């Protein structure tokens, strides 16, 4: 998304990869910022250096990459899939190499972020988005073969423009079309809360955790 371009640049800049290193962009969210990186995508798109993958199998040989980065892709995976993904990440990374990723922190610090929280909670309810606790992430990183885990809380003040907010309305409409009875009424109530909050306060990206680990 264009509105998060600086946030993506800041994410990369906090632990910049060596220009000569081979970088894997897990999830393909950083293709604009890292055009030379190998982008791992789950849906076929016209991208240079893109490789189609599943989150639980990375089609690369052992110790292929110097760095693995991922920007909010893991928000879309349940915790049991993350363990498999992290083990695969450790497999394709060279020893002592860095794995760096960002994940959403579901703790709004301003009213505009509360709008996004309500929207995310609807997606979470339908299994389209997942919140991950730091304790769980640290545990599965350790199990997957990573050490030297560091965590930085990233406060953000990034407004989501109206044209992108309208895509959220389309998503909510598609969800409601598939629901019936009590579940439909409850989601409709949450959608109303979201719309009311956006109208009054706008919408902004939630804070995040930037987690870095090193392959042992």
Backbone angles phi, psi at 155, to 5 degrees: -80, 135
- Are the CB atoms for 184 and 176 separated by under 8 Å? yes
User: Could you report the per-residue pLDDT of 1-51, keeping only the tens digit for each?
Assistant: 889 999 999 999 999 988 889 999 999 999 899 988 999 987 766 666 788
Which pLDDT score, from 0 to 100, does residue 46 have?
Answer: 64
Q: What tokens appear for 127 in the block?
A: 């299994």
Domain that holds residue 172: 2-215
- Give residue-wise pLDDT tens across range 74-98: 999 999 999 999 999 999 999 999 9
Give the strands of the sheet with 50-52, arranged side by side: 50-52, 38-41, 23-26, 65-71, 93-104, 208-215, 146-154
DSSP-assigned letters across all residues of the chain: -GGGHHHHHHHHHHSPPPTTS-EEEETSTTTTT-TTSEEEESS----TTEEE-BTTB--S-TT-EEEEEEESGGGGS-HHHHHHHHHHHHHHEEEEEEEEEEEE----SSHHHHHHHHHHHHHHHTTS-----HHHHHHHHHHHTEEEEEEEEE----B--HHHHHHHHHHHHHHHHH--HHHHHHHHHHHHHHHHHHHHH--BPPPEEEEEEEE-
Q: What is the mean pLDDT of residues 108-118?
A: 96
- In SS3 terms, 62-118 reads as CCCEEEEEEECHHHHCCHHHHHHHHHHHHHHEEEEEEEEEEEECCCCCCHHHHHHHH
CA distances from 165 to 69, 86, 124, 205 (A): 27, 32, 18, 11
Q: What is the pTM of this model?
A: 0.92
CATH number for the domain spanning 195: value is 3.40.50.150
pLDDT of residue 174: 92
List, for residues 154-166, the tens digit of each pLDDT value: 999 899 998 887 8
């Amino acid at each position: 998304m264009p509105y998060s371009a600086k946030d993506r640049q800041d994410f990369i800049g906090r632990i910049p990869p060596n220009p000569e290193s081979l970088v894997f962009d897990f999830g393909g969210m950083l293709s604009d910022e890292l055009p030379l990186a190998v982008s791992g995508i789950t849906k076929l798109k016209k991208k240079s250096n893109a490789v189609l993958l599943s989150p639980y199998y990375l089609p690369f040989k052992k110790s292929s990459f110097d760095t693995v980065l991922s920007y909010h892709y893991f928000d879309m995976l349940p915790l049991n899939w993350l363990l498999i993904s992290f083990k695969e990440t450790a497999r394709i990374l060279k020893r002592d190499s860095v794995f760096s990723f960002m994940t959403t922190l579901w703790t709004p610090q301003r009213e505009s972020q509360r709008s996004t929280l309500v929207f995310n909670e609807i997606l979470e309810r339908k299994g389209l988005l997942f919140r991950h606790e730091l304790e769980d992430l640290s545990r599965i990183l350790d199990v997957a073969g990573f050490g030297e885990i560091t965590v930085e809380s990233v406060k953000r003040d990034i407004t989501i423009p109206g044209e992108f907010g309208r895509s959220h309305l389309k998503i909510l409409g598609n969800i409601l079309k598939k629901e019936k009875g009590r579940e439909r009424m409850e989601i409709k109530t949450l959608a109303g809360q979201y719309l009311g909050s956006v109208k009054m306060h706008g919408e902004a990206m939630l804070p995040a955790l930037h987690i870095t680990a090193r392959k042992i």
